[in-house]
Chain A
Amino acid sequence: MRPVFLQVGILDRASGSAYYEAGNTKLVAAVCGPHAVTQREGDWERALLEVSFRRAGWSSHGIGEEGRVSKRDPGHYGEIADAAQFEQDGVLGSGDSTTHNDMEREAGLFLSRALESVLLLRQYPGAQIDVSVLVLEEDGSTTSAAVTVAALACADAGLDMVDLLVGSTVALRRDESGGRQASTEPDMEGERQAVDGLLVLAWQPSLCRIANLRWQGGVEDAREEDGSSGVAAAEAFSTALEAAISAGAAMYQAVRLSLEEAAQ
């Protein structure tokens, strides 16, 4: 597992904020609120939670390209075809618009679900809470990093939470002897090599509950012809889940340290 750096309270104007860095994956989260709601819709009994997950156009290498983004590589901006698209997408660009936006939307939904499981939104009726995550640079395990950093920013903002959240990613692949190997917090290359499965977990560390989970099973297991494919797939999943939970526990220690340091 890569060493991780967390810092809380980096933005003065936001109610709460946090920064996450592990390897070349760098994210910033900011929480604004609770503040008066701008649009009246939905349930007045609880706060409206607006989650935004965005990747900066320079954050990744582009879809489908090989190789890792190194610190010295200036990287590519998202493709800006012409002035009309620039007007629509802004300087962040869009890259391959469908894939790029799909990933953001999916990650945003994942994050939103996870946060809703810990935030006590009924404490803030009629208000709105904005949580924004910006991916500055991406090198694998981005969604789980977003979970960790967003929950940290919410804690920094003093929102009522049932528990903190930690995110972890586990990539499963076969090594030379055919055994299954789990690597936690893989980088981009590690994610690509995860032929046996990729698990993204949002975990509540004190209450030991799963807040959200996404599992992409391995291709190999699906091909077995006798009835053992189900067993193999279940084994793969439980291996990955165990590794993810212990990685989450380790991440929780880092989260606690960063909040305690901020309190001094």
Chain B
Amino acid sequence: MFTAPSATTRSLPSPAPLVLPGDAIHAPEVNTLRGHGTRQSAHDRASTLRATQAGVVERINKLVTVRALRGRYVPEVGDVVVGRVTQVQISSRRWRVDVQARQDAALLLSAIPLPGGVQRRRTPEDELNMRAVYAERDLISAEVQEVKADGTMMLHTRIQGRLGRLRQRGVLVAVCPAHIRRSTRHVVSLGYAGMAAVLGVNGYVWVYVESEATALDGGEDEEQEMAAEMPTDAAVGGVTAPSRPQALALCRVRNAILALDVSCFSISVESIRAVCRWSEAVPPADMLQPAFLERLQAQLAASA
């Protein structure tokens, strides 16, 4: 079917013990790396390790962390994220982008490829034309260039074609960032009804219509993470509305992603495709009903 999620992602709301802030965590005195979500009293070396978050204890070799059940995205350099532009700050030569994190990310004017593709100094005309590049409420995909000490994220969109404004026919889905694993490819073709997606590590997923193929792909399609047709607006002139079969497929993929999120399952090409296939008997609108979700969770548990 599809590869089981790695040990760092829970497959289901499991019977793993839940810790609350202040609970003691069993860990050997030496040989333990205390990670995120844990704390040992700074004054008392002999004190027990305690949780600072409500979540599940995870142990990977010597590292002990508490993974919070509900948490914002914590950025790392190199992450591909999807964000929505909230502000155009011409005076500071930057855009502010919402990426579901503690603070809005910053995209500097110097971090984008200029139209014309030539490397040159930014002129005052470029500053005044910032809105022509990205305006408020635009969706963009970007890569995290730098994370400052106070948590501010600096983005860049320098990779032509893969990063930049998302203008394809599609829908944005917001999920919990913990359910999307970091991997080498984030712009993926789903192999289902011509849909593709940009899986932002920050929990924003942009699902879009990749090609005209609306027929379901056969099971022989084994290429799991093909590079998708570019999601950014290079070739698309005007954006036309999706046809009805495409719109239904979009809804199905969107609801599949939401169903995976609600079930605390890892969101990847394989899992999205599997849920879409399992759900074909059910209209997309019913995919988020409790009846379907229970059957889905049972099937996920069975195949994990």
Contacts and interface: CB of A to CB of B under 8 A. Distances in A.
A interface residue count range (under 10 / 10 to 19 / 20 to 34 / 35 or more): 20 to 34
B103 A161 contact: no
B42 to A, nearest CB: 11
B102 A35 contact: yes
Max count, chain B CB within 10 A of own CB: residue among A126, A207, A256? A126
B151 interface: yes
B53 interface: yes
B21 A44 contact: no
Given A124-B151, A259-B20, A259-B54, A158 B104 contact: no
Given A118-B21, A125-B151, A259-B54, 11 more contacts: A35-B102, A120-B52, A127-B102, A127-B151, A155-B54, A158-B54, A158-B68, A160-B53, A206-B21, A206-B23, A264-B13
Interface of A: 16, 33-36, 44, 118, 120, 124-127, 155-158, 160-164, 204-207, 256, 259-260, 263-264
Contact of A158 (B13, B50, B53): B53
Contact of A164 (B21, B24, B102, B150): B21
A124 B102 contact: yes
B158 interface: no
Contact of A263 (B37, B39, B54, B152): B54
Q: What 6 A-B pairs are tightest by C-beta distance, nearest first? A: A206-B22, A163-B22, A161-B21, A126-B150, A160-B52, A158-B71
Q: Is the interface of B mostly helix, strand, loop or mixed?
A: loop
B167 interface: no
A126 B151 contact: yes
B150 A155 contact: no
A43 to B, nearest CB: 12
Contacts of A206: 21-24, 50
B70 interface: yes
Contacts of A205: 22
A118 B50 CA distance: 13
6 contacts: A126-B152, A155-B21, A160-B37, A161-B52, A162-B22, A259-B20
Interface string B28-62: 00000000010100000000001011110000000
B150 A158 contact: no
A36 B103 contact: yes
B80 to A, nearest CB: 23
Interface residues of B, number: 26
Interface of B: 13, 18, 20-24, 37, 39, 50, 52-55, 68-72, 102-104, 149-152
Max count, chain A CB within 10 A of own CB: residue among B52, B71, B72? B52
Contacts of B151: 124-127
A262 B218 CA distance: 40
A133 B275 CA distance: 41
Contacts of A256: 20
A163 B21 contact: yes
Contacts of B52: 120, 160-162
A262 B72 CA distance: 17
Given A124-B151, A127-B103, A155-B21, A162 B70 contact: no
Contacts of A127: 102-103, 151
A207 B44 CA distance: 13
B95 to A, nearest CB: 14
Contacts of A162: 21-22, 39, 50, 52
Contacts of B23: 206
A85 B53 CA distance: 44
B20 A36 contact: no
A118 B53 CA distance: 12
Contacts of A160: 21, 37, 39, 52-53
A224 B4 CA distance: 74
A161 B22 contact: yes
B16 to A, nearest CB: 10
A109 B148 CA distance: 33
Contacts of B71: 158
B216 to A, nearest CB: 34
Contacts of A156: 54, 70
B13 A263 contact: yes
A92 B39 CA distance: 42
